[in-house]
Chains A and B, each alone.
Chain A
Amino acid sequence: MSVAELKERHIAATATVNSLRERLKQKQQLLVDTDVAAYGRSQGRSAISFVSTDLVCCRTLQGHTGKVYSLDWTPEKNRIVSASQDGRLIVWNALTSQKTHAIKLQCPWVVTCAFAPNGQSVACGGLNSACSIFNLNSQVDRDGNIPVSQILTGHKGYVYSCQYVPDQETRLITSSGDQTCILWDVTTGQRISVFGGEFPSGHTADVLSVSINSSNSNMFVSGSCDTTARLWDTRIASRAVRTYHGHQGEVNTVKLFPDGQRFGTGSNDSTCRLYDMRTGHQLQVYSQQHDGDDNDIPTVTSIAFSISGRLLFAGYSSGACYVWDTLLAEVILNLGELQNSHEGCISCLGLSSDGSALCTGSWDKKLKIWAFGGQRRVI
């Protein structure tokens, strides 16, 4: 067969793929007969009610000299690692507000960090296209710095997010500006699998976020500048299991829902969405009118669910931190308007492992811990 004939076949096959994808999207939309809020109201559910003093800022962690970009809690309750524009990782005891480690990074442009499941190591990545691992028990060097114990190289673009596989100290997943995610063996520094890239069903733009399913750690979700989220099975790197459409802007953040069957997303289109993993249905859009002019629509930078899933926390570039009632799709509180709130973009947030506290990180260089300080009724 000649090159010309092959090119014709390639064009035809591409057209078929595009047409099938369009048909799939249309059929998917026809199956969306309700959303979570409409269903919840039909079942008589009413929104959670907070008074303004229920969720309070009970700690402010100060020490970074630049914007905070990322944070992660340990699986055991109280420690947090944060990454900042100041080129440092800081490990905090959130209960005492004290810093237990401050790691000055060789490449200062760090944008993501993660705690290992055993709390003994931290990982970080950024504009050096690599992911660096530090063992917190290492002997410090002459300058008082913790030496890097492993560097994971192989991405051909910035590393935007990293997460350890739950209960596996030696496995980590990164996402990158090279449009792929990679599963790594941290001990050997080797790539185990590359998700996306040259294959037709990978992301087609930078991948900004990953979230691994703690109920089934073979599955993870990624969010991308191509406005989609994708579900991956770590055992099948060649193809995304499913692609989730709906957002009108880059998907900055993804987070598994506590039941392990759904996941949330946050985007530059200023909305959060809830998707059903198995069917691909978009179950709910969380969208709110924001103050300010139309040219200044705040982006959703980060999300987290409370431990039951009833609350969805969403951080915005405006400094707002909305607490959504997940079921009724209503904003029930804005942490950005409370006493002692941040004074800038909320760039990251995360829940402690027992769900008793939320940590937020901001461009105001601080981290804050929020907990329920009101009158709780236990039923």
Chain B
Amino acid sequence: METESERMATNGEDAEPEARPQPSHPRPLRRTGDFLGKHRLSAAISRLNQEIQYLQAELDEIETMKPSSEACKAVVLSTEGKSDALLPVTPGPENPAWHRWFQRVPSSHSRKWWTHKGSDVS
């Protein structure tokens, strides 16, 4: 996304007032315009310098970072030992509530129920 300061920079505000014919609008407006342009540019440069510092810190950090195999190991370990209702083989405990999707559900409209084979009877 183009920042506001980049947009201003391409709008031709770089000519010094004295190099142009006198404008018909009062001088203070032009000075205010220059002041605002400088102010915005300075603020944008300040933000970019801060970003440079952050990026330098990230580059320093990455020198001490472990390779991806460490994280891959953690992923494998994190999925084990956790009971999971959607897996065909899972550590316990099995929660009886997991079966509710296949049990008779009282309904005010009709005797709707779902078989264990999961056919959507409606």
Contacts and interface: CB of A to CB of B under 8 A. Distances in A.
- The answer to whether A binds B is yes
Contact of A307 (B9, B84, B97): B84
Interface in B30-66: 34, 37-38, 41-42, 44-45, 47-49, 51-52, 54-56, 58-59, 62, 65-66
B54 A239 contact: yes
B122 interface: yes
A58 B62 contact: no
Contacts of B24: none
B16 to A, nearest CB: 8
Contacts of A32: 67-68
A283 B93 CA distance: 30
Interface stretch (A23-31, A101-109, A137-145): A23-31
B26 to A, nearest CB: 20
Contact of B120 (A59, A77, A283, A355): A59
Nearest to B98: A356
Contacts of A10: 5-6, 9, 41, 44-45, 48
Contact of B102 (A21, A58, A379): A58
Contacts of B51: 17, 200-201, 239
Contact of B55 (A21, A198, A199): A21
Interface of B: 1, 3-6, 9, 13-14, 16, 34, 37-38, 41-42, 44-45, 47-49, 51-52, 54-56, 58-59, 62, 65-69, 71-76, 78-80, 82-95, 97-98, 100-102, 105, 107, 112, 114, 116-120, 122
Interface in A13-59: 13-14, 16-17, 20-21, 23-24, 27-28, 31-36, 38-40, 43, 45, 48-50, 53-59
A318 B113 CA distance: 31
- Specify the main secondary structure of chain A where it touches its partner: loop
How many chain A residues sit at the interface, stated as a range, is 35 or more
Contacts of B78: 257-259, 261, 309
Contacts of A121: none
Contact of B62 (A2, A27, A283): A27
A371 interface: yes
B62 A3 contact: no
B76 A36 contact: yes
Contacts of B83: 307-308, 378
B67 A13 contact: no
Given A35-B68, A308-B79, A355 B90 contact: no
Contacts of B89: 48, 376-377, 379
Contacts of B88: 48-50, 54, 372, 374-377
A191 interface: no
Contacts, number: 240
Given A28-B62, A31-B62, A274 B75 contact: yes
B74 A261 contact: yes
Contact of A308 (B48, B84, B94, B117): B84
A150 interface: no
Contacts of B13: 3
A321 to B, nearest CB: 13
A284, A309, A371, most chain B CB atoms within 10 A? A371
B29 to A, nearest CB: 16
A96 B67 CA distance: 49
Contacts of A33: 67-69
Contacts of A200: 47-48, 51
Contact of A53 (B6, B49, B87, B117): B117
Contacts of B9: 7, 10
Given A6-B45, A48-B87, A262 B54 contact: no
Contacts of A31: 62, 65-68
8 contacts: A4-B14, A33-B69, A59-B114, A198-B4, A199-B47, A308-B82, A354-B95, A372-B88
B62 A77 contact: no
A221 interface: no
A199 B45 CA distance: 11
Given A16-B52, A33-B67, 16 more contacts: A10-B45, A17-B48, A35-B68, A50-B88, A53-B118, A56-B117, A58-B102, A95-B101, A96-B112, A204-B1, A311-B87, A327-B76, A355-B86, A371-B101, A372-B87, A377-B89
